[in-house]
Amino acid sequence: MSDVMPPLRSHLMTLEPRWREWVDTLPALRDRAADTWDLEVGPFLSQSVGSAVLSVTRRGRPAALKLFTPDEHFTRQVGTMEAARGRGYAHVYESDVDHGAVLMELLGRSADEEWRVNYGNVPAELLLDSLAIEPMLHARTQTLIEAWTLPLDVAPEVDEKTHRAAQLAEQIEYWYRDTSIELDAVVKRALLFAEQRLQARNPDRQVVCHGDPHSGNLLAVTSPRPGAPAGYVWVDPDGFRCEPDFDLGVAVRESNRLVLSSEDPVVMLRAWCAQLAGETGTDAEAIWQWGFLERVANGLYLCHRGMPEQGEQFLKAADWLISRRSFG
């Protein structure tokens, strides 16, 4: 690993024991699923520590097999997708959460990949003036509206300690103690927003949120179908109760490149929040606050996990949003 950058190296070193353990576990999970569900196993579609997605066929029909270290998170994820019955989420064909396996509808490229293929080389200044962003946001809202139709009892009730705003505040404080970057103003604002979101919590408005609806988790369906009004569905949900503005905040937490290139990022991002709120009947200010909280939490988390280059982009964008300057 001598040619790897030191921060990335330290990140990979911390992952190494878990990675080895996972690589050792994977064949047994795969073979068990293949035997139980009569699958022909094809190539990996994705692999990370503790999780893998494979292309498979069953009686000649394509499907995707996700293998995961069995745990509460995976059980919740599969339960959420099963309850959706294809509405806004990938169809689940079979599941065995005790053995870390779920067989689901094979999907196409993620919205993130499509965005990179189509616009990855387009300078941010040109993108900001283009009409590309509106349909990208529209696909999110249409697919989230479907996903939010899940019955509430799929996820447990939340209180002032387990509400997402309280958890984010706790995580932000914890991770901030761990970083050497001077970010007091950004963190103070994030904690203020967390308090406001916590005070505004309202069980009557809550839905089963996806929890992490970033564009890498929004995948294209291979042919038009009910439950996928914009041609996409979600995978990889956390499935917890929260106000729907939370999920929309995740949608505006991305696009650091555009935020950092914009002369007036506040006007730009507020316009996105207004579009998302208008299309979903939610509150633009709440989306703004969740988006800011998510941006800060994500940036600190990435730094904490030994990925400072990625993390700092989020934190610089957050700083740019409140002070029209960015550190470093």
Ligand X SMILES: Nc1ncnc2c1ncn2[C@@H]1O[C@H](COP(=O)(O)OP(=O)(O)OP(=O)(O)O)[C@@H](O)[C@H]1O
Total residues interacting with Mg ion, rule: CB under 5 A: 2
Q: Among residues 113 and 285, whose Cβ is nearest to ligand X?
A: 113
Which residues, numbered 57-86, are part of the site for ligand X (CB under 6 A)? 64, 66
Does 312 help bind Mg ion (rule: CB under 5 A)? no
Identify which of 239, 249, 232, 274 has the alpha carbon closest to the alpha carbon of residue 142: 232
Integer Cα distance of 197 and 209 in angstroms: 15
Q: How far is the CB of 222 from Mg ion (least distance, A)?
A: 18
Instruction: Pick the binder of ligand X from 34, 41, 45, 274 (CB under 6 A).
Output: 45
Q: Binding residue for ligand X (CB under 6 A) from 216, 260, 307, 310?
A: 216
Q: Tally Cβ neighbours within 10 Å of residue 39.
A: 21
Phi first, then psi, for residue 101 (nearest 5°) are -135, 140
Asked if 235 and 219 touch (Cβ cutoff 8 Å), the reply is yes
Q: What's the one-letter identity of residue 132?
A: A
Closest CA to 302 of 284, 278, 318: 318
Closest-by-Cβ residue to Mg ion is 236
Site size toward ligand X, by CB under 6 A:
18
Binding piece for ligand X, criterion CB under 6 A, among 20-28, 100-108, 170-178, 272-280: 100-108
Distance in angstroms (rounded) separating the CA atoms of residues 241 and 290: 15
Residue 64 binds which entry of ligand X, Mg ion, none, CB below 5-8 Å type-dependent? ligand X
- Please tell me whether residue 105 binds ligand X under the rule CB under 6 A: yes
The answer to the question of residue 77 lying near Mg ion (CB under 5 A) is no
Contact 175, 214 (CB under 8 A): no
- Give, as one character, the DSSP assignment of residue 299: H
- Tokens 């929004």 sit at which residue? 218
Residues of the shown chain interacting with Mg ion in the complex, contacts defined by CB under 5 A = 217, 236
Residues of the shown chain interacting with ligand X in the complex, contacts defined by CB under 6 A = 45-46, 48, 51, 53, 64, 66, 90, 104-107, 110, 216-217, 219, 235-236
